[in-house]
């Protein structure tokens, strides 16, 4: 087994952070842009994002939410209206202060002091405030509610430390914003969005997650309650992959989103917001990637099957290409996961082996290498990306009769989707410790700096305020954070290992990205 010559130069075991960077580079997903914290998303990475967009957008629309678009720039005064919101974002904001450049006399350009804006504009870090302003115009009567809006957009947060896809200064996302007549209706929407994210993550990304409520210290600035989906990466750390917030009436008060109820009284709306971003792609890399690069779940793979003709640059190529084209045509008539198969015939010149390793690193689910003998004998040579190596350390090609392969291809694509999800779920569940009942046990578990043991699920008394701050500080000493209170957890048992009070619920505790 050790003779396997992997496609990447860094393994996950040797250096997980370097491996993550290497996958992104080698799979040609994204690259440096030269602008601090901002990345160029290359076709393969953007193709995955387009798949995520398409499948998520269908779910959003199915829930009756309509897409719209709001400005990139937000007047500073809009933002200043909700105090907690300002506090949460003030330190990481890009601000536009001028509208013109002039020559500095040294061959460069500087902002023209004469062209200073009356009121600075901030580049949106999130759009609650602008969308709130629109909602206050759109909502007049109880008949206008609920108001369900979403936008696909880019946002900017000037983070101190950035990592490709996981935390970039600019990122792409969708943000849903809704207004409701009362708390109950808004909570239903908040939890609907959370469940949409949970099922999307499991079904489309094949990434198992726990959906639950964040502790009060982790709430979105200005929110009354914040919910998240949390995924476990292969290094055992947690990734918050999506959030849904119940905002109460605070934002409605700031933006004056009011309606006249059935009794003729003015009332404040209850609002929600929810979003997922390009961070999900980082989650897919760290959930499914291996030492040969990315493995893309078929549901979000820009191409699910790549056909590589073994071109010889001779007279036989024409017949070989005709066979491959005919194979492609037969495949795209089939459907898997509810959509036609996405199949690419890679006719570019070059050696088939080199092209093969490029596709392996990109993680395309099925690779077909077709030579002259396959064409003559009505055969295909099939390589499953999720089962790349044989026991003897050779690449795991399976020679199959063309007809047999065609009959099974769609099922095989669906099997890869299932298999990636099953593997990720098994790995996650094997790395959750549930037997911790005291702080001393928790500390002992994380005592070894070299070996991070994964997540801990434990029971606590859900302290708040100063008492919670103490708990957070104790966990911080172990580099741990509270991820969420899973909605489907077993009932809490015993006493809280932090406060000694009777436990009321279970939480996940983990290191996080």
Q: Interface residues with RNA (CB under 7 A)?
A: 4-7, 17-18, 20-21, 25, 32, 34-38, 88, 91-92, 157, 159-164, 167, 173, 218, 220-221, 226, 228, 240, 242-243, 245, 275-277, 279, 292, 310, 312, 314, 350-354, 356-357, 369-375, 379, 381, 394-395, 397, 399, 476, 479, 512
- The CB-of-199 to RNA minimum distance in angstroms stands at 16
Return the number of the residue (436 or 475) whose C-beta is nearest RNA: 475
Return the number of the residue (276 or 336) whose C-beta is nearest RNA: 276
Return the number of the residue (176 or 297) whose C-beta is nearest RNA: 176
> Which residues does 27 contact at the CB level (< 8 Å), separation at least 6?
44, 45, 293, 294, 361, 362, 363
| CB neighbours of residue 348 within 10 Å | 8
- The CB-of-49 to RNA minimum distance in angstroms stands at 13
- The CB-of-314 to RNA minimum distance in angstroms stands at 7
CA–CA separation, 334 and 332 (whole Å) = 5
Sign of CA dihedral 296, 301, 307, 313: negative
Return the number of the residue (181 or 382) whose C-beta is nearest RNA: 382
- Rg (C-alpha) for the chain, rounded Å, is 26
- H or E element in which residue 469 lies: helix 465-477
Return the number of the residue (168 or 459) whose C-beta is nearest RNA: 168
- The CB-of-276 to RNA minimum distance in angstroms stands at 6
- The CB-of-512 to RNA minimum distance in angstroms stands at 7
Strand partners, 392: none
- H or E element in which residue 413 lies: helix 402-430
- H or E element in which residue 380 lies: strand 379-384
Return the number of the residue (98 or 167) whose C-beta is nearest RNA: 167
CA–CA separation, 87 and 139 (whole Å) = 28
Contact in structure between 382 and 400 (CB atoms under 8 Å): yes
The residue among 150, 155, 144 whose CA lies nearest residue 192 is 150
CA–CA separation, 32 and 96 (whole Å) = 24
95-98: strand order across its sheet:
73-75, 116-123, 95-98
- The CB-of-53 to RNA minimum distance in angstroms stands at 14
Return the number of the residue (139 or 310) whose C-beta is nearest RNA: 310
Contact in structure between 97 and 111 (CB atoms under 8 Å): yes
CA–CA separation, 199 and 195 (whole Å) = 6
Return the number of the residue (272 or 381) whose C-beta is nearest RNA: 381
CA–CA separation, 195 and 59 (whole Å) = 11
- The CB-of-453 to RNA minimum distance in angstroms stands at 16
- The CB-of-162 to RNA minimum distance in angstroms stands at 6
Judged by DSSP in three states, 500 sits in coil
Return the number of the residue (320 or 331) whose C-beta is nearest RNA: 320
- The CB-of-25 to RNA minimum distance in angstroms stands at 7
> What are the C-alpha distances in Å from 282 to residues 20, 24, 289?
9, 9, 10
Return the number of the residue (61 or 394) whose C-beta is nearest RNA: 394
- The CB-of-143 to RNA minimum distance in angstroms stands at 31
Judged by DSSP in three states, 189 sits in helix
């Amino acid at each position: 087994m050790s003779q396997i010559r992997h496609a990447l130069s860094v393994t996950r075991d040797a250096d997980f952070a370097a491996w993550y960077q290497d996958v992104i580079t080698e799979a040609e997903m994204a690259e440096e842009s030269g602008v601090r914290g901002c990345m160029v998303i290359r076709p393969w990475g953007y193709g995955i994002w387009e798949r995520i967009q398409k499948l998520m957008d269908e779910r959003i629309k199915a829930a009756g939410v309509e897409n719209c678009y709001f400005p990139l720039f937000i007047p500073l005064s809009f933002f200043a209206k909700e105090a907690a919101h300002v506090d949460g974002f003030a330190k990481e904001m890009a601000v536009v202060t001028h509208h013109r450049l002039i020559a500095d006399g040294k061959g460069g350009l500087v902002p023209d002091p004469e062209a200073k804006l009356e009121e600075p504009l901030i580049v949106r870090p999130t759009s609650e405030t602008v969308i709130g302003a629109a909602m206050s115009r759109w909502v007049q009567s109880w008949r206008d509610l609920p108001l369900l809006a979403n936008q696909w957009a880019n946002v900017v947060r000037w983070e101190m430390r950035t990592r490709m896809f996981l935390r970039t200064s600019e990122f792409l996302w969708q943000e849903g914003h809704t207004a409701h007549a009362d708390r109950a209706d808004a909570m239903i929407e908040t939890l609907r969005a959370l469940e949409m994210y949970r099922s999307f993550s499991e079904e489309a990304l094949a990434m198992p997650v726990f959906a639950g409520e964040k502790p009060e210290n982790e709430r979105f600035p200005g929110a009354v309650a914040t919910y998240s989906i949390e995924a476990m990466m292969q290094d055992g750390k947690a990734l918050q992959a999506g959030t849904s917030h119940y905002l109460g009436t605070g934002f409605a008060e700031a933006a004056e989103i009011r309606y006249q109820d059935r009794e003729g009284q003015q009332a404040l709306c209850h609002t929600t917001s929810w979003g997922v971003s390009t961070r999900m792609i980082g989650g897919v890399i760290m959930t499914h990637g291996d030492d040969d690069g990315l493995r893309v779940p078929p549901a979000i793979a820009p191409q699910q099957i790549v056909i590589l003709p073994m071109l010889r640059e001779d007279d036989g190529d024409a017949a070989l290409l005709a066979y491959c084209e005919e194979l492609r045509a037969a495949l795209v008539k089939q459907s898997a996961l509810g959509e036609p198969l996405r199949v690419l015939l890679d006719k570019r010149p070059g050696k088939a082996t080199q092209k093969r390793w490029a596709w392996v690193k990109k993680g395309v689910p099925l690779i077909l290498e077709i030579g002259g003998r396959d064409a003559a004998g009505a055969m295909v040579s099939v390589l499953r990306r999720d089962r790349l190596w044989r026991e003897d350390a050779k690449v795991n090609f399976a020679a199959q009769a063309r007809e047999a392969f065609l009959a099974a291809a769609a099922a095989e694509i669906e099997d890869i989707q299932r298999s990636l999800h099953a593997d990720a779920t098994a790995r996650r569940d094997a790395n959750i410790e549930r037997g911790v009942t005291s702080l001393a046990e928790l500390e002992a578990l994380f005592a070894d700096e070299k070996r991070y043991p994964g997540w801990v699920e434990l029971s606590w008394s859900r302290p708040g305020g100063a008492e919670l701050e103490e708990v957070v500080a104790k966990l911080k000493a172990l580099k741990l954070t509270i991820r969420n209170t899973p909605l489907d957890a077993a009932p809490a048992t015993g006493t809280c290992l932090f406060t000694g009070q009777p436990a009321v619920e279970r939480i996940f505790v983990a290191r996080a990205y």
